[in-house]
Each structure stands twice: as C-alpha cells, then as structure tokens.
Amino acid sequence: MRNFIINKFTAKTQRRRVFKAIFISAPLRLCGLILLFTSILSAQKIAVLTPEKNGQSENFAEKLETSLAAKFKVLNSSMSEAAFLASNPEKPFNMAAEDAKITGAAIGCDFFLLVKSENLRRSSFEKKDYFESYAAVYAVSSRTGRLVFWRLKTFNGYDPKDAEKLLFDSTGEIANEISERLPAVFKDELNEKPVKLEGIPDENSTDAKNFRTPLPYKRISPPYTALANLYSIAATVDIEVDFDESGKILRTDVVRWAGFGLDEAVTETVRKMNWRPATRSGKPLPVRVLLRYNFKKLDKEE
C-alpha cells in the first residue's frame, strides 16, 4: 500500500513537472520565434540612393539614412551608388520590376530607396510667390522589383531655407512610416506563392492561331493625376492582369511603376472595366495579359 501511495505521488509529481515544463517552455519557444523573426527583420539591408545628383537630394538622403539606421542595416552609400550605376537603369524613377530586381541584386540589399528632392519657386493667385521644398521617396523590393512604398513630402515658405529646414525635419516621420511598412512587405513576400498562368502567345507562333485576347467591352483611360501634372511627370505604367475563363480579373500586379498616384490610377481603372474573356478556337481560357499606359503632361493647347 505504501509503495502504491509513493508511486502515485511520484506519478503526480512527474505530471506536474511535465506540465510545468510545457507551461514554461511554450512561452520561451514563442519568445524565441519572435526574437528570431525580429532579428530577421532587423537584419534587412537597405540602400539609400539619389539618382539625380543635387545637394538637396543628397542632404535629405543622408538625414534619412541616419533616421533609418536604428531600424535597418543601412548599406554604405558610396558602394551602393557604385553598384546602382553599374546596373545602369534607364529611368530610375520609372523602373520595370525585372530591372529593379537586377539593381537590387547588384547592390545586395533587401530594399532600396530612391530619393529626389528639390526647391521650387511657386506662384499662386491667392498669395505672393513662395518656395516649395519637396522630397519624393520610392522604396523598392529587391525580391519582387515592386514599388512597395511611395511618399511625397512638401513644405512651403517665403524663404527657400525655411522650406528646406521643414522638409529635412520630416525625415524621422518618413523613416517611421518606412519602418512600419517594410517588415510587413518582407513577411508577405516570403509567404507569397507564385501563380503560373499562360500569357499572350507571340503573334507569329502557332499558339496564336485562333487565339483571341481579352478585350474590355468599353475602354476607359486612367487619369493623369493632378499630382503628376503638378510635377510634370512623364512615365509609363505596366500592369499584369490575370483573367479567369469568364473574363473576371483574378489579380493585378504593377510591373513598371511611376509613383505620383499613377500606379493606383491604372490599377483602379483596369479593375473598373468589364472584360471579354480570352478564347482559343472559341473556347474560353484563363490568361495573363500585360497592359501598358503612357503618361505625360499635356500642353495647354492639347
């Protein structure tokens, strides 16, 4: 009887120890995973680049680097610039995703930031001439080549130095926005599964025989945004669109980006249109289509 009581007590003690071990180790394992994930994010490499050289762009970029250093591993600017120039992007602020991936790989970063900053003299009917100091910041993923963050900051003043100071003081705010956005993008991209879909066949290929591309029942042109017009932006936006057998849009992906609200304008417009499905020999089929939209500032006469 005594042995039974001892054994029973021992068994209960063991169960308590096991439960205690599980109770203690589970949070520790969870904390370990959180720390591991945090360390992965904190190890993200960022390059800050100024494709158009001027003192204001470089000074703004330097201040932005300082603000980002606590959150990311900011790469040496001289080495990043050298790798960027070696990749030789034709239009740095209007890159195709494939070119952006090549550029990111050449630099050796997870994300690269493109910075453009200027002081402009503005005029208005409502007030006398003033100065606008602005910075456009593009954050591009090296993994996908997508533009994953875009921000325009502007400050006005009757003296250019006053406007510039207000702009430079905003780098901490932009850095915080970037720090909140990029880890989420990094996580989403790691979990993203590639979607394979047939594209439009070459017109000279045998696959093009009896093939009919998706077409909208009514074409709509995406608007040239007021913001793009204000900064005289000339750019091209390419968008990949996945259609199912009925012509319904399954997915859109901007694969040549421009910022200034043009990417969003294209995406929204494409999704507004109703599409006739692609067919081969009269049979509907799912397909991936690349659409291109060109934007430029129109002259007053036009």
pLDDT tens-digit map of 234-290: 999 999 999 999 999 999 999 999 999 999 999 999 999 999 999 999 999 999 999
pTM of the shown model: 0.83
CATH 3.30.2420.10 fits 206-295, yes or no: yes
- pLDDT mean across residues, the chain: 87
Beta-strand runs (E) in the chain? 45-49, 73-74, 111-122, 130-141, 147-157, 211-212, 215-216, 235-243, 249-256, 275-276, 278-280, 283-285, 287-295
Check the CA dihedral 276-280-285-291 and report its sign.
negative
Nearest 5°: the CA angle 254, 209, 293 is 25
Please answer whether residues 149 and 256 qualify as being in contact, where contact means their C-beta atoms are separated by less than 8 angstroms: no
Q: What is the pLDDT, as a whole number, of residue 14?
A: 52
Question: Which has more confidence, 297 or 147?
Answer: 147
pLDDT confidence band for 8 (50 / 70 / 90): very low
Task: Looking at mean pLDDT, say which of 1-10, 23-32, 200-209, 251-260 comes out highest.
Answer: 251-260
Q: Sort 113 into a burial class: Cβ within 10 Å, 0-12 / 13-18 / 19+.
A: buried
- As a whole number of angstroms, the distance between CA 251 and CA 113 comes to 26
Q: What is the pLDDT, as a whole number, of residue 115?
A: 98
- As a whole number of angstroms, the distance between CA 277 and CA 289 comes to 11
pLDDT confidence band for 22 (50 / 70 / 90): very low
With a cut of 60, say whether residue 21 has pLDDT above it.
no
Q: What is the pLDDT, as a whole number, of residue 255?
A: 98
| Closest by CA position to 175, among listed 63, 56, 55 | 63
pLDDT confidence band for 299 (50 / 70 / 90): low
Cα 201 to Cα 123, 216, 277: the distances in Å are: 51, 19, 15
- As a whole number of angstroms, the distance between CA 33 and CA 158 comes to 52
> For 175-229, how does the pLDDT look when each residue is reduced to its tens digit (9 = 90+)?
999 999 999 999 999 999 888 888 888 888 888 889 999 999 999 999 999 999 9
With a cut of 90, say whether residue 17 has pLDDT above it.
no
Longest dimension (CA), the chain: 106
pLDDT confidence band for 128 (50 / 70 / 90): confident
> What is the CATH architecture of 45-191?
3-Layer(aba) Sandwich (3.40)
Cα 278 to Cα 87, 110, 211, 292: the distances in Å are: 37, 37, 7, 18
